[in-house]
Chain A
Amino acid sequence: MTGAASFKLEIVNGVPVVEVIGEVDMTNSHELEGLLDQASRTGRSTVVVSLSGTTYLDSKGVRLLLRSAERLGLIRQRLVIVAPDGSVPRRILEIAGGDTLPIFNSLEDAIRA
């Protein structure tokens, strides 16, 4: 077992959603990266990363999200984050400059956007 997180890729209303449950750190960030690539290959304009169930997100994770958003941008895809207001991931994103990414409170908002 590597890390204590599970990653899941779902298509919700035609939008690929990567759900991160548990902890994202050095030991498992490559898994998240791989899943984002997979989501990107669906060819949709938007890829959602849901951090609603994420308990740990550090600077590595933030950096990964930012880098992924840039890569998706090159092929005109948008990375959208779901992180409820006041949650630890939301705070970390805000602290570490992740707020340049579009962040929504809920999955519904993100898909709608």
Chain B
Amino acid sequence: MLARRLFDPRHWTLGTRLVVSGLLLITIVMALTVASYRRAVEERRRAEVDNALVITRTMSATVEAFARDVEATIQALARVLGDQAEPISQAQDGPYLRAVFQEQGLLRTLFVTDPSGRVVASYSGREIGLDLSSRPYIRALRTGISSVWSGRLAGAQSGQVTVAYGSAVRHDGTVRGFLITAFYPAAVFENLPFTVPPDARITLLDDRGGLLFTNQADVLRGRTDFSEVADIRRAMAGEIVVLNIRRGAVSGETRFGAIVPVPPTGWVLSFTRPLGPLEAQLRAEFVRQVGGLGLVFLLAAIALVLFVNRILQPVTALSQVSSAIARGEHPRMPAPTGPPEVRRLAEGMAAMSQAVAERETELQRAEAAQRFLADASNALATSLDAEATLRQAARLVVPRIADWCVVHMVDEDETLHRVEVAHADASREERVKEFARRYPPDPANMRSPTTYVIRTGQTVFLREITDEWLSAAGVDDDAITFVRDLGLRSLLVVPLRARGRMVGAITLVTADSGRYFETDDVGLAEEFARRVALAVDNARLYDRERTIAQTLQRAALPRDLPSMPGIAVHSAYMAGAMASEVGGDWYDAFWLPDGRIAVSIGDVAGRGLQAAVAMGQIRHGLRMAAFEDSRPSTVLSRVDRLLGSTLPEEMVTAVFGVIDPTARTFTYSNAGHPSPILGMANDRIDVLEDRGPPLGFMRTRERGDFVVHLDSGGFLILYTDGLIELHHDPMRGQDALLQAVRDEIRTPSGDRAGAVLRRVLGDAGPRDDIALLSVSLAHEPVSRFDLTLPAIPSALPLVRQSVRQIGQLLGLPDERTAELEIALGEAVNNVIEHAYGVVPGTVHVRGGVEDGALVITVEDTGQWRPPSAAPHTGRGLVIIRALVDEVQIDAEPSGTRVRLVVRLPLTTGLEAGREPELV
């Protein structure tokens, strides 16, 4: 895996890639160079071969020239000797020969023989008479030819290879003798007009392949005859033979060169050079070149690595820096070094880093501002009192925004008053307060910053408070001294405005910290002020709403509760101490048209105006429904439908019930409300647990009605959950309530509701609102009643109920009671029909036992009207008179009193004066 990564270029670092690319490039250049050198060597070799040919030909020309010179000289001398009259003699021709010999320079000898071959004259005067007729060249001449080249001759005295040239000397056509000269071929090569490479081998052969000259005699090892060598034979045939890298025929080594003929003599000149030195030289040259190249390669590689490093070092450093920036650090930027691109990159990164840092600082500032605003919002939300909110605001800005702060509030009557002064240094606060007290904003002076802000709603921002400004603002010298003493530097006054209304201004000042407000602070302060203003506005709104809600709730709860003989209804209401808002708890009790008493208790979840309104609507709905059909389940079902169609989905619980005083029953239906409790005289407690779902949840099914009997001395407690949720634990709350009911049975109070509330609460204040309703039944049947009712038809059933009860109590026969009911009904009817005009009045009915008779009086404050003359009228009085034992009518201008007396039978056990306890 590692190896694969190592060899996979995709994983290489930039440095590796650069170095590898560089090396690859150098290698290619090297390869090209080597290849071109091979070609150069080839060419060089060919050039050397060509050169060798040129040298050979030049040398051959030299030899040829020499031979022709010898020929010309000898033939001219032979003509001179043939033309002279005198025969050839040493004496005559010797000096001449000498002169020619000396002039020639290279000759070995010069002499003349007679036709038999005997020496007759020589350049030196010696060897005269020497017979040379056996010599081949003499023999050749004696055959009649005019001239001859000898070929290889062994030197007579020196043993050196010699060549002779002979020409016949003719006088008048007859041969007078033979002129012979000889020379050492080696001498020809001694003074070549050019230098010969030292390793070159020069070989001159005669026309029969005999060795005339070689400069490297040792190589030939004494061999003199080369007529068998093929190249030499070809050259002897007149061909120029180029020896192009060939194993030498003689030495056996690889050589190159050429073999050319020398024309007049029939000789052959061979010039060869060994290939070895050339190759060696070329190789050396190659090696030197390649070595140099290798060195260049190495240097280039090193330079490349260094270069790459030099580029990459800053790049690596930059990449580390950028990683650090990414990690949120603040690394030191490396100095921009390296090539321009890298420098530009570094500069770019530096700019980026700075931008990031600035952005971060900006973000941190913004975040700090956001945090401050969030904290402020939270803190401001804790109070719903406008002034407390403003005081809180002053404490919030110091010292986070300003060194000190003064908050002014515009009251409902548009006047300005200072709410709070806060200073970062508590010991300086008094001084600032004194300043604020001595120099309050002048409401008439627009140059006073606070006044200006309140009037215009515009922020005042003064980065530096100067004396000039203070003077211009109309601040007197005393105040300026004060300002200087407080060390004021910057001033920022922001408006507190909510829903278009000015609620105040916040004056922010920097002083002791030495700080100045900047433009950013203005935005922050304005935003803060906006929130403060909103909070103040909310508090005011809340206050207003709470007042409305309280008014609504108070209005919704009934002012008067129905009561009748033997039955008392009491209520208690306590607002929660913790909750500053009104709740949706209610209680209600009212007469039904048939003389029964309807009671309801309930709770709308939620608080405030909405809950109060909903509560009012529901209570009203229950009353409306009850007048249609007072069956509790029907009443609740109607409100279910009402809620389902009109009201928000607040949880509403309620108990609605009807108390029948005659039957002494309580018929109720419960919509998810805490169970009513029935306390009975025999120490029994009945928790009325039958219940259906909360209001609004029972639109399809019928609600149930439940009936309990109400015993004498017993009482019914209806309550809202605030009563049992006192201790966070409904079970404990329930226990406390049951205990209170038990205590109440043993030690009865007049006002059961109030008593139970007191017993449950003890010293504790309730958290939530509590509503309580109690219905108490007298311990014993009552023998008196006293009712004041509106003079309307629905008063009748109540009156009759009372009579029925008292009749039962007194043990009157049912028929008698019924007759009394009718008589009383007639009397009340009369009041309803005749006592008042369009404005209804009241009817006051009292009943009780007086002197062994039941006496009932019906009073009104209207006018007595005699029975009208209309048919079938006026029977009321007739009926009354017929049904009671005694009727007394007192008609006064202030009102009328009708007194009915029914004498009681003796069997009635009730004695006058023994008053049963009243409820």
Give chain A's interface residues, CB within 8 Å of chain B.
1-4, 23, 25-27, 55-60, 62-63, 66-67, 88, 91-92, 95-97
Q: Are A25 and B815 in contact (CB under 8 A)?
A: no
Q: Among the listed A26, A59, A67, which residue makes an inter-chain contact with B793, where contact means beta carbons less than 8 Å apart?
A: A26
Contacts of A97 on B, CB cut-off 8 Å?
A: 872, 875, 878
27 examples of A-B residue contacts, CB within 8 angstroms = A1-B593, A1-B594, A1-B627, A1-B630, A2-B593, A3-B594, A4-B594, A4-B797, A26-B793, A26-B796, A26-B829, A26-B832, A56-B800, A56-B818, A57-B822, A58-B822, A58-B826, A59-B879, A60-B829, A62-B872, A63-B872, A63-B873, A66-B871, A66-B872, A95-B875, A95-B879, A96-B878
Number of CB contacts from chain A to chain B under 8 A:
77
Contacts of A25 on B, CB cut-off 8 Å?
A: 793, 796-797, 825, 829
CA distance A95 to B627 in the complex (A): 34
Chain A residue with the shortest CB-CB distance to B794:
A27
Q: Are B593 and A91 in contact (CB under 8 A)?
A: no
Give chain B's interface residues, CB within 8 Å of chain A.
592-594, 627-630, 793-794, 796-797, 800, 815, 818-819, 821-822, 825-826, 829, 832, 871-873, 875-876, 878-879, 882-883
State the main secondary structure of chain A at its contact with B: mixed
Contacts of A55 on B, CB cut-off 8 Å?
A: 818
CA distance A23 to B822 in the complex (A): 10
Q: Are A56 and B825 in contact (CB under 8 A)?
A: yes
Q: Among the listed A1, A56, A63, which residue makes an inter-chain contact with B822, where contact means beta carbons less than 8 Å apart?
A: A56
Contacts of B818 on A, CB cut-off 8 Å?
A: 55-56, 88
Distance of B799 from chain A, by nearest CB (Å) = 11
Q: Are A63 and B875 in contact (CB under 8 A)?
A: yes
A-B interface, 5 closest residue pairs, ranked by CB to CB distance from nearest: A63-B872, A59-B875, A95-B882, A96-B875, A26-B793
State the main secondary structure of chain B at its contact with A: helix
Contacts of A26 on B, CB cut-off 8 Å?
A: 793, 796, 829, 832
Known contacts A88-B822, A96-B875: A59-B594 contact under CB 8 Å: no
Q: Are A3 and B593 in contact (CB under 8 A)?
A: yes
Known contacts A2-B593, A4-B594, A58-B879: A92-B829 contact under CB 8 Å: no
Q: Are A56 and B821 in contact (CB under 8 A)?
A: yes
CA distance A2 to B627 in the complex (A): 8
Q: Among the listed B815, B826, B873, B878, which residue makes an inter-chain contact with A88, where contact means beta carbons less than 8 Å apart?
A: B815
CA distance A56 to B814 in the complex (A): 12
Distance of A91 from chain B, by nearest CB (Å) = 7
Q: Are B882 and A58 in contact (CB under 8 A)?
A: no
Besides A56-B800, A88-B822, 11 other A-B contacts (C-beta < 8 A) = A1-B592, A1-B627, A3-B594, A3-B797, A26-B832, A56-B825, A59-B826, A59-B875, A63-B872, A67-B871, A95-B875
Distance of A90 from chain B, by nearest CB (Å) = 11
Contacts of B875 on A, CB cut-off 8 Å?
A: 59, 62-63, 95-97
Contacts of B882 on A, CB cut-off 8 Å?
A: 91, 95
Contacts of A66 on B, CB cut-off 8 Å?
A: 871-872
Most B Cβ at <10 Å: residue of A1, A4, A23, A56: A1
Known contacts A1-B592, A26-B829, A91-B819: A59-B796 contact under CB 8 Å: no
Chain A residue with the shortest CB-CB distance to B876:
A59
Q: Among the listed A60, A62, A63, A88, which residue makes an inter-chain contact with B819, where contact means beta carbons less than 8 Å apart?
A: A88
CA distance A24 to B629 in the complex (A): 18
Contacts of A56 on B, CB cut-off 8 Å?
A: 800, 818, 821-822, 825
Distance of B793 from chain A, by nearest CB (Å) = 4
Q: Are A96 and B797 in contact (CB under 8 A)?
A: no
CA distance A91 to B758 in the complex (A): 54
Contacts of A91 on B, CB cut-off 8 Å?
A: 819, 882-883
Distance of B816 from chain A, by nearest CB (Å) = 10
Contacts of A63 on B, CB cut-off 8 Å?
A: 872-873, 875
